[in-house]
Amino acid sequence: MDRIEIGILGVVVTLVLIAIRTPVGVALGLVSFFGIWALTSINAAWNILSSIPYNFVTNWNLSAVPMFLLMGYVASQAGLTSGLFSAARMFMARIPGGLASSTVIASAFFASASGSSVATAAAFSRIAVPEMLKSKYDPGIATGAVAASGTLGSLIPPSILMILYGIFTDSSISALFIGGVIPGILSAAIYIGMITVRVKLKPSLAPVADEQHSWAEKRTALKETWPLPLLICGVLGGIFLGFFTPTEAGAIGAALAMLIALFRGELNWPVVKRAIIDTAEGTCTIFIIAVGASMLSRFLALSQLPNALSDLLLPIANDPIILIVMIGVLFLILGMFVESISLMLLTIPIILPLLNALDVNLIWFGIIMIKLLEIGLVTPPVGLNVYVMKSSLGNTIPLTTMFKGTFWFLGMDFVTLFLLIAFPSLTLWLPTIMN
C-alpha cells in the first residue's frame, strides 16, 4: 500500500475501534503507532511515542485545562451555583414557559463557570426537571430545555473545547473566548424565544404558574446568586481587559472560586477533596485523548492524506461556505456516534489544511465547529447530555420522550448555525474591537 492508502486505512480502523467502544485515546494512539511504523520504521514509531506525550503535556497553555476544571468543580461542590434557578424562575414566572426559560438562563450561567456541558445537564436534571414536572410541564419540553441548554457549556467561555481547539490550530484562545460570547447569548435567546412562542401557541405544554413574588423576595433571591456572576466577571473581565491571559485566568478563576467559597463559609476539606479528585480524573481523560490526537496528527502528516484530501476537495469546495457546509454535514453524522472532544481532535488534522488553503478565519470556524459539536451532544443514538439526564432521573421519563423533546431545540440550533455562517461578524466583531 502507498502512503495515502495507509492513511485512509488508519482513519477507518480508528472509527471502527471507537465504534466498538475502545477508549478514544487508546484507539488514536494504537492506530497512530502502527501507522507510523508502517510508514517509517519501528524505531521512529517508538521515538515519536516517547516524545509526543512529554512535549504535549508540557505545553504551558494546557495548564488552563485542569485550572478551569478545578474552578468549575469548586463552584459546583461549594454551592456557588445555588439560587440561580430560583432567582430566574421568580423573574420569569408570568412568561409563557417561564420555568423552561429560567432553566436556559440558569444553565448558561452555570455552564460559563463549569465549562462542562455534561455537568450542567446533570445538575439541572436534578434541579429544574422535577420543578417543571411538578408544575405540569410537558416532559419533552422540560427535558429538552435541560439537555439543549446544557450544551451552552461548550460555547460560552471559558470552554475546554476552545482551549484545545486553540492549541491544535495555533489560534488565539483569548479571541476564541471573546468570539464565543455573542454566539452563546444568541443561542440562549433563540431557545427562550422558541419556548415562549411554542407555549403561547399551545399553553398545555407549560401551564402559567400561579406564583406571585414581591420585589423584596426578588431582591433577596438575587442576593443569593452573586457568587457566580462575580466569578464569571472576574475571569472573563480580566481576559477581555488584558489583565491576564486565558492560561493564567484558569488559575485565577480556581483561586477566586475558593476565596468566594471561603467567604461564604462553604469551603471545607470534603469540598476541596472532591473537587481535586474530579479535576484529576477529568484532566487525565482529556489529556489521554489529546495525546492520542497529537499522535494521529503526526501519523496523518506522514501519510500525506490531508494534502491528498485538499487536492481532491478544493476543486469541488472552492468556496469557504461550501466547505463549511460539507464539514458541517460530516460533523452532524459523526456527532451522532463520537463525543465532542474526541470528534474535534480526530478531525482537526484532516480539515485544517483545507481551511488554510481557502484562508478561512479559524476563530470564526472554531465557533461554528463548537456549535456543531454541541448539536452532537443531544442527537441520538449517543446524545451524551440526554443519557446523563436519564441516569439522573431514572425511569421518571422514557428515553424516547427525552430525545423527542430535544428536536425543537435542535431546530433552533440550526437557526443559530445558519446565522453564524451567514453573518461572521456575530463571532468576529468582539475579537476585532478587543484587539
What's the pLDDT score for residue 258?
93
Q: Which has more pLDDT, 130 or 81? A: 130
What's the pLDDT score for residue 210?
64
Read off the pLDDT of each residue in 159-183 and give the average, rounded to a whole number.
91
Phi, psi of 245 (to 5 degrees): -85, 165
Structural domain total, the chain: 1
The DSSP code sequence of 275-337 is HHHHHHHHHHHHHHHHHHHHHHHHHHHHHTHHHHHHHHHTTTS-SHHHHHHHHHHHHHHHTTT
Q: Count how many residues are written for the chain.
A: 435
What's the pLDDT score for residue 52?
86
Lowest mean pLDDT among 86-95, 190-199, 421-430: 86-95
What's the pLDDT score for residue 136?
87
Percent residues over pLDDT 70 in the chain: 95
Q: What is the pTM of this model?
A: 0.87
Helix axes 269-303, 64-77, angle to 10 degrees: 150
What is the chain's mean pLDDT, rounded? Answer: 85
pLDDT band (50, 70, 90) for residue 70: confident
Beta carbons of 332 and 139 less than 8 angstroms apart: no
Is residue 245 over pLDDT 70?
Answer: yes
What's the pLDDT score for residue 94?
75
Q: Which has more pLDDT, 315 or 28? A: 28
Tens digit of pLDDT for each residue in 352-402?
Answer: 988 998 899 999 999 999 999 888 888 876 677 888 788 777 788 888 888
What's the pLDDT score for residue 197?
93
What's the pLDDT score for residue 115?
65
40-44, 93-97, 154-158: range with highest mean pLDDT: 40-44
Nearest to 327 by CA among 308, 340, 313, 307: 313
What's the pLDDT score for residue 128?
83
How does DSSP classify residue 398?
-
What's the pLDDT score for residue 149?
87
Neighbour-count burial of 180, counting CB atoms closer than 10 A to its CB (0-12 exposed, 13-18 middle, 19+ buried): buried
Read off the pLDDT of each residue in 261-268 and give the average, rounded to a whole number.
88
Percent residues over pLDDT 90 in the chain: 24
116-130, 200-214, 258-272, 383-397: range with highest mean pLDDT: 258-272
Read off the pLDDT of each residue in 403-412 and give the average, rounded to a whole number.
91
What's the pLDDT score for residue 338?
76
User: 269 by DSSP, 3-state: which?
Assistant: helix
Give the range of the structural domain holding residue 96, as residue numbers without chain letter. Answer: 3-434
- CA-based R_g, the chain, Å: 22
pLDDT band (50, 70, 90) for residue 426: very high
pLDDT band (50, 70, 90) for residue 424: very high
